[in-house]
Structure 1
Amino acid sequence: MKKFIIEIFKFTLFAIIFYIITLLIWESIKYPFLKPNLYCNKGSYGNTFTRLKEAKKINTVDVLILGSSHAYRGFDTRIFNKNNISSFNLGTSSQTPIQTLALLKRYLKTIHPKLIIVEVYPGVLNSDGVESSLDIINNDENDFLSLEMVLKQNNIKTFNTLIFNYYRNFLNLDNSFVEKRIKNDDTYISGGYIEKKIGYYKPKNITKQPIIIDKKQLDAFEDIIYEIKNRNIELVLVYAPISKNLYSSYTNNHYFDGLMMKYSEYYNFNSMIKLNDTIDFDDSNHLNQIGVEKFNNKLIEIIKNRFSKN
């Protein structure tokens, strides 16, 4: 029996080593369609690499912002700074609560905010989060929190990509990588914000849809609330403006509002400010710079009132 166990252990060890070596060799193949379960593309979109590199240099800020592209394209840190509120935007593309939780645990070790704003959007609460995990794995230094994030998703693509990036991180193969701050119509602004060249949305019909919440994401969201409140940091949940066209397509917005209000102070700016789909939005999901300024100025009024009371 002892010999059998030893043989099983040897075989398992050999299989793991063989798998990792094969994976590293396979990544060198030029054609993406031949490696559908491995995605390695540093600096691909959203300037996540630059943002997370800058985050490592941040210490104390008044406001830390987390969330999806609604966050990094919707909360302009320059406007906060003009109002004497220091801020950093830790939003990433398609960021779901599973990734938000990992980023919080990683960066709250060094960043000490007075207030955390978590941008909440129904779409990401019904997402598997694979896209966001791949983005973060490829553009940040990976640790145990990365493994924890991947295990929650149980997806072979994120698992393979994490193994490959552990290897690259261990050998410091990306130390010389520099990401462009201007990519097509996007410009990275220090503090984590992405300013997009001004564009205007042309509304189209959007099929009616209910808001559905994934249990894994809701569990991670509840862990976020606990993590922040356990550190005695103030928390505000913000539903950033989306086009009226998209917002009205959701058939149960009151359900989502009620759910968010259970967890913390919550502001749904879709019902708090008047915006025009064709003037203030770049697409159905994202504000253009005109809309960002209107939204941010209203949000900052609320933040200033909070700080004046403390």
Structure 2
Amino acid sequence: MKQFLKASAGFGVFALILYTCLLVLNKRFLPQRLMPNTFKYDTASDFTATRLHEADSTENVDLLILGSSHAYRGYDTEFLAKQTGLKTFNLGTSAQTLKQTEILLEHYISRLNPKYVVLDIYPALLDNDGIESMCQLLSVEVLTKNMVYEALCTFDIRVYNTLLYTLVNKLFHFSSDFKDKSIPGEKYVKGGYVRSYIAEYEDAPFPASSLKISEEQEISFTRIISMLKERNIKYIMLQAPLPKERYSSYLNNDELDNTLKGFGNYYNFNKEKSLPRSFFMDQSHINAKGVYLYNKYVLEKLRTIYQSTNLSRN
């Protein structure tokens, strides 16, 4: 029996080493379509690596933006800083669900130490499993204790493969194959914002659907708000502009809005205004023209809520 256990353990170690070697080689050299159990971010154009690298060397901001691509494409740190005098940072990342928002906020809240937080709510992600976002953050070596724990709790082979690959890269000091890629018409702005001048929104059918927030995401939501309240950080939750056709395809916008209002100051831009097609870069995100108008709306809400003309630190 002892000999059997010893042999089994030896085989297990050999299998793990072989699997790891094949994973590293395949992920570096094979195209994504041949590796369905991994996410490959070697040609990302969302500047996540750049943004988080900047966050690691940034301290004591006044205004912090959190959320998905609607956050880093929808809130111009340069414009907001000029209008308010506030040091502003955008910590949005692609497909970031409230679960990843919670993890990133836990990691950066002491360093960034914000006075105000804008939490962007993209309703389509409230019931998302967060796998894509988790894999991306692991790819850029966000390896906090909570991130690793949550990764292990996903029981998803894509997350496990990404975690293993990143750990091997870090252990052996391999160069990362995650590189931010600029594309024509877009520019990274200091503070985490990605400015886009693209206006290529095309007609497309939007199937009717209902929105909901999953139990897991709601738990993270509650923890985020508690974290902010414990530190006396003022916060506001906003839903950024969507193309009218897309927003109208959601059948229960009023119901979702009522749920979100239960977490604090929440405002839905789409309930008050509608932007024309030329203000969108695609079927979901606003471009620089849209951001300018939307950010004026953001400042209006912040100033109304907190009764301040400049929102500067006391």
Give me the TM-score of the superposition, normalised by structure 2: 0.87
Instruction: Tell me if structure 2 keeps the 8 A contact 1:52–1:140.
Output: no
The AA in structure 1 aligned to 2:287 is N
Residues 137-177 of structure 1, C-alpha deviation per residue, up to 9 Å, x if partnerless?
Answer: 11234232321231343210111111111121233333798
Task: Tell me, in whole angstroms, the C-alpha distance in 2 between the residues paired with 1:291 and 1:25.
Answer: 43
Cα RMSD after superposing both structures:
2.6
Assess if the C-alpha contact under 8 Å between 1:38 and 1:160 holds in 2: yes
* Cα pair distance change 1:175/1:27, threshold 3 Å: closer
Q: CA deviation at 1:229?
A: 2.2
Q: Give the Cα–Cα distance (whole angstroms) in 2 for the partners of residues 262 and 8 of structure 1.
A: 54
Structure 1 residues 13 and 205, CA gap change in structure 2 (3 angstroms): closer
The residue number in structure 2 matching 1:280 is 279
Structure 1, unaligned runs of 5 or more: none
Pairing 1:73–2:68 present: no
Using the alignment, how far apart are the partners of 1:176 and 1:8 within structure 2? 34
- Deviation string for 1:204-242 (max 9, x for gaps)? 442221113222222222222222223322221111111
Per the alignment, in what secondary structure is the counterpart of residue 187 of structure 1? strand
- Cα distance change of structure 1 residues 278 and 29 upon mapping to structure 2, 3 Å threshold: closer
Shift of 1:257: 0.6
Counterpart contact for 2:66–2:101, Cα < 8 Å: yes
The AA in structure 2 aligned to 1:59 is E
Cα displacement (A) at 1:246: 1.0
User: Which runs of 5 or more structure 2 residues have no equivalent in the other structure?
Assistant: none
8 Å Cα contact 2:45/2:180 also seen in 1? no
Other structure's SS at 2:270 match: coil
Q: Report the Cα distance in structure 2 between the residues aligned to 1:40 and 1:32, rounded to whole angstroms.
A: 6
Paired AA for residue 302 in structure 2: I
The answer to whether the 8 Å contact 1:186/1:197 transfers is yes
Alignment of 1:21-36 (within 5 A): 21-36=21-36
Give CA deviations for 1:76-106 in whole Å, capped at 9, x if unaligned: 1111111112211111111111211111111
Amino acid at match of 2:188: Y
- What residue in structure 1 maps to residue 292 of structure 2? 293
Aligned to 2:229: 229
SS in 2 for 1:20: helix
Work out whether residues 99 and 132 of structure 1, in 8 Å CA contact, stay in contact via their aligned partners in 2. Answer: yes
Q: Aligned residue for 1:109? A: 110
Match of residue 44 from structure 1: 44
Amino acid at match of 2:89: F
Q: 1:201 to 1:32 in 2, by over 3 A?
A: closer
1:255 pairs with 2:255: yes
Call closer, same or farther: CA 1:43–1:123 in 2, change over 3 Å.
same
Query: Distance between the aligned counterparts of 1:3 and 1:232, measured in 2?
Result: 60
1:271 deviates by 1.5
For residue 203 of structure 1, report the CA deviation from its aligned partner: 4.0
For residues 11 and 226 of structure 1, do their structure 2 counterparts lie closer, same or farther at Cα, with a shift above 3 Å needed?
farther
1:207 aligns with 2:207: yes
Is the 1:200–1:280 Cα contact (8 Å) retained in structure 2? no
TM-score by length of 1: 0.88
Partner of 1:132: 133
* AA matched with 1:173: F
Whether the 8 Å contact between 2:239 and 2:269 is mirrored in structure 1 is yes
Higher mean C-alpha displacement, 25-34 vs 46-55: 25-34
Distance 2:198 2:251 in 1: 30
After the TM superposition, which of the residue ranges 46-55 and 227-236 deviates more from structure 2?
227-236
Deviation at 1:187, TM superposition (A): 1.1
